[in-house]
Structure 1
Amino acid sequence: MSRTAKIFATVAVAGLAVSACGGNASGGADDSSSGGGTLVIGVDLPLQGASKDASEATVNAMQLYLDQTGSKAGKYKVKLKVYDDSTAAKGAWDDATCAKNAQDHVGNTEEVAVMGTYNSGCAQIIAPVLNQDPTGPMLMVSHANTNPGLTKAWDSGEPEKYFPSGKRSYARVIATDDYQGAAGAQFAAKDLSAKKCYILNDNQTYGQGVGKAFEEEAKKQGIKVLGNQAWDVKQPNYTALFTSIKSTNPDCVYLAGIFDNNGGQLVKDKVKVLGDNSKVKLIAPDGFSGYPEFDGLAQAQGAYITFAGLTATTLREDGGPGAKLLDAYKKKYGADPATSYALYGVEALQVIMQAIEKSDGTRKSITEQVFSGSGISIPADKSIVGKKLDISPKTGDVSVRDISVLQLKDKEEKFLKPWPVS
């Protein structure tokens, strides 16, 4: 086969090459038959726009973990190749770029698995392409995709349409939005005594999913759902939208979406028309977590945010591998990661590395380690999240389903309480 190199524009993140790039069809290790070689793990994240800080922190944390472990998974040397799935023009993840990255992952000869994506909509594009890789399927493990349909029945044709080969190849280390959306609604009802809530979604996969879950649980909790409406991300302002919402007299607004989609303007106009967040409570899912721009907004102070996992603050207090990595990260970079999802990026990396260690170094074998037998299990004393973590070989979902409730105060997302999920 031809090994002609393709050259693409790159930017630097923690000394790594970052691109939307690839090569040719891949089989696995450079020298797996003689006991070793170097394997590449692709990292697919939005590195431009509002998600830039969170994505860079995730890459940095993963590389720090590799440095600490000698970049070894069994007999194989491991390195990262970072792909940008966003565009400068959009300032967020981009459909066409995700589609291109999918082809490039499959085409890169040394790449054996993918860590990512951050956005569920991008994963929906990439997962079925990796699943049809003739040398695979190729494993994909996400640290942040929360849309339920990627692994279980949710919308029409899900999750089967992401696995056209008939074999599973996608897993994740985070709780899903059927839990997160429900937790947000339970918190609104039980802790905030909300009676009437209006839902705004960003009309994307993630936003629609978490909004649907919030709405269903809110009704069970006795909250009157006044509406579930999409906001137009291209609007210069939302005063007319919130003026129409004001007539319904809500005591709660739930923003089901990502901050990248003009969330700053949305929050400003919510406060301008409906009042501050002590008057009409503002609740958002983790699509608004980890954005310094959001945290710094005067109008965002007092907002509640759910996070589909444990926060860096909690993990540091609990001690263990997560706390040690956080301390090392802070020593190297001068601050904690911009997002708690950075640690889940490391957790996803742990899953991939265990699969590599148990495999023969080929894509097919690596994926089979996750989706056959007992699957992947990481003991609590090794797991970055400090809990025993199992990946179901039937679904690719994780056994640990933590939800944290945060409140934005003094420009910081402060841990408020854990929320039990069932």
Structure 2
Amino acid sequence: MYRSARFVAMVAVAGLAASACGGSASGGADETAGDTLVVGVDLPLQGASKDASEATVNAMKLYLEQVGGKAGKYKVELKVYDDSTAAKGAWDDATCAKNAQDHVANASEVAVMGTYNSGCAKLEVPVLNADPKGPMLMVSHANTNPGLTKAWDPGEPEKYFPNGKRNYARVIATDDYQGAAGAQFVAKDLGVKKCYVLNDNQTYGQGVAKAFAEEAEKQGITVLGNEPWDAKQPNYTALFTSIKAKKPDCVFLGGIFDNNGGQLIKDKVKVLGDNEKVKVLAPDGFTGYPEFDELAQAQGSYMTFMGLASESLREQGGMGAKLLDAYKKKYGEDPASNYALYGVEALQVILSAIEKSDGTRKGVRDAVFEGEGITIPADESAVGKEMSVSPETGDVNVIDVSVLHLESKTEKFHKSWPVG
């Protein structure tokens, strides 16, 4: 694990940022041969997720620069993989499947930070798990679908680990908590009585919508329906016209903004009225998108985020605030996504595993899933709290839910929501 004294000593170290994003060696090939280990970074770099992904990569580059580009005796560099396509403007099944094969084929690569989308992770994890030189570790900063680590849909999570050993971890809590927190919030704080649930028909959206609907009913909210929206539709006027007849006072948008979320919110307001009249709650799949934040029709929306918002991290001080200040100084603005520092947290887990390992894929994976696992102390943690990854499940010990409110084109921290 990283020692804070070493972190402070390395803050001024520079020189890796330009080389880390793209996989070229941080020094010459001869200088680093045999000593340099690669951490893959697997994110959607095209479409609506571009800003959030670039902020996450930049935050990780900055942190790696600050610790001297090393984990224990090993030099470390990042290699960035794009799991999206220009045509789709979002993560893509075939690209995720190819990336998984490319991770395994890269002999220097020992672990993967990613993915952003749970559906992509479900395609990649089994391939990394079956790697004969591994299993190969993946640590996500943003996957919230429960099935990756716990019983959820049929066959989960066992089907993602064909060799019987887990290799997937995350530093963020899951949608069973997020959906429940969102339902409790709209029931208790907003006084919602009738809510219509929509999902984008993808792994993440279906899961968070399911969790929200189940908890909403427990909270006394009438769930008027739970149906998918088709991301390929030119508009959703007919959809919301049918919903209007049911007289909802809330709409839950379970999914990601990439799936035509802009048109969805425009037509929601057009047919059902503004977001004060009929409340809108969206999960973290709608956070960190400047395009969404700037829409007039999106103003007044509430969103949940599975973690602490950057605004909260800065206010609480500590390592998170220092990283945010360093990021703003280097890049001229705050990260576009609250997930950026969770990308750093996931990288901290990987670097700690590398430091404890023998430098092999198996050794890096075993450092997380065998023995006591990995703990990042509070004073070194990018999110300001002691963070432990369970060696039994790969889940994190910290469960935070933030409620955000979109005001004046800014995702403003509204409140923390207690989970329980």
TM-score in terms of structure 1 length: 0.93
Letter matched to residue 337 of structure 1: P
Conservation of the 8 A alpha-carbon contact between 1:172 and 1:396: yes
Conservation of the 8 A alpha-carbon contact between 2:311 and 2:413: yes
Unaligned runs of 5+ in 1: 1-13, 22-28, 32-36
Q: Specify the alignment match of 2:369 in structure 1.
A: 371
User: Matches of 1:75 and 1:17 in 2, distance apart?
Assistant: 18
Q: Specify the alignment match of 2:391 in structure 1.
A: 393
Q: Specify the alignment match of 1:74 in structure 2.
A: 72
Letter matched to residue 335 of structure 1: E
Q: Specify the alignment match of 1:48 in structure 2.
A: 46
Q: Specify the alignment match of 1:3 in structure 2.
A: none
Q: Specify the alignment match of 1:34 in structure 2.
A: none
How is 1:51-130 mapped onto 2 (pairs within 5 angstroms)?
A: 51-130=49-128
User: Matches of 2:264 and 2:379 in 1, distance apart?
Assistant: 42
Conservation of the 8 A alpha-carbon contact between 1:18 and 1:83: no
Q: Cα 1:19–1:209, aligned 2, differ >3 Å: closer, same or farther?
A: farther
User: Matches of 1:361 and 1:372 in 2, distance apart?
Assistant: 15
Q: Specify the alignment match of 2:14 in structure 1.
A: none
Question: Which secondary structure does the structure 1 equivalent of 2:111 belong to?
Answer: strand
Query: Residue 259 in 1 paired to residue 257 in 2?
Result: yes
Q: Specify the alignment match of 1:149 in structure 2.
A: 147
Q: Specify the alignment match of 2:277 in structure 1.
A: 279
Conservation of the 8 A alpha-carbon contact between 2:313 and 2:384: yes
Aligned counterpart in structure 2 of residue 219 of structure 1, from 217, 220, 239: 217
Conservation of the 8 A alpha-carbon contact between 1:304 and 1:405: yes
What is the deviation of 1:374? 1.0
User: Matches of 2:199 and 2:95 in 1, distance apart?
Assistant: 23
User: Matches of 2:78 and 2:170 in 1, distance apart?
Assistant: 18
Conservation of the 8 A alpha-carbon contact between 1:43 and 1:115: yes
Question: Which secondary structure does the structure 2 equivalent of 1:249 belong to?
Answer: coil
User: Matches of 2:344 and 2:108 in 1, distance apart?
Assistant: 21
User: Matches of 1:353 and 1:380 in 2, distance apart?
Assistant: 16
What is the deviation of 1:15? 3.4
Letter matched to residue 271 of structure 1: V
Question: Which secondary structure does the structure 1 equivalent of 2:252 belong to?
Answer: strand
User: Matches of 2:38 and 2:357 in 1, distance apart?
Assistant: 14
Unaligned runs of 5+ in 2: 1-16, 25-31
1:177-215 deviation digits (Å, cap 9, x = unpaired): 000000000001000000000000000000000000000
What is the deviation of 1:20? 11
Question: Which secondary structure does the structure 2 equivalent of 1:278 belong to?
Answer: coil
Q: Specify the alignment match of 2:357 in structure 1.
A: 359
Conservation of the 8 A alpha-carbon contact between 2:21 and 2:78: no
Letter matched to residue 247 of structure 2: N
User: Matches of 2:66 and 2:371 in 1, distance apart?
Assistant: 30
Question: Which secondary structure does the structure 2 equivalent of 1:78 belong to?
Answer: strand
Question: Which secondary structure does the structure 2 equivalent of 1:70 belong to?
Answer: coil
User: Matches of 2:360 and 2:106 in 1, distance apart?
Assistant: 13
Aligned counterpart in structure 2 of residue 134 of structure 1, from 122, 132, 135: 132
C-alpha root-mean-square deviation of aligned residues, in Å? 1.4
TM-score in terms of structure 2 length: 0.93
Q: Cα 1:307–1:222, aligned 2, differ >3 Å: closer, same or farther?
A: same
User: Matches of 2:339 and 2:18 in 1, distance apart?
Assistant: 20
- After superposing on structure 2, the runs of 4+ consecutive aligned residues of structure 1 that deviate more than 3 Å are 14-21
Question: Which secondary structure does the structure 2 equivalent of 1:254 belong to?
Answer: strand
Letter matched to residue 132 of structure 1: A
Conservation of the 8 A alpha-carbon contact between 1:200 and 1:256: yes
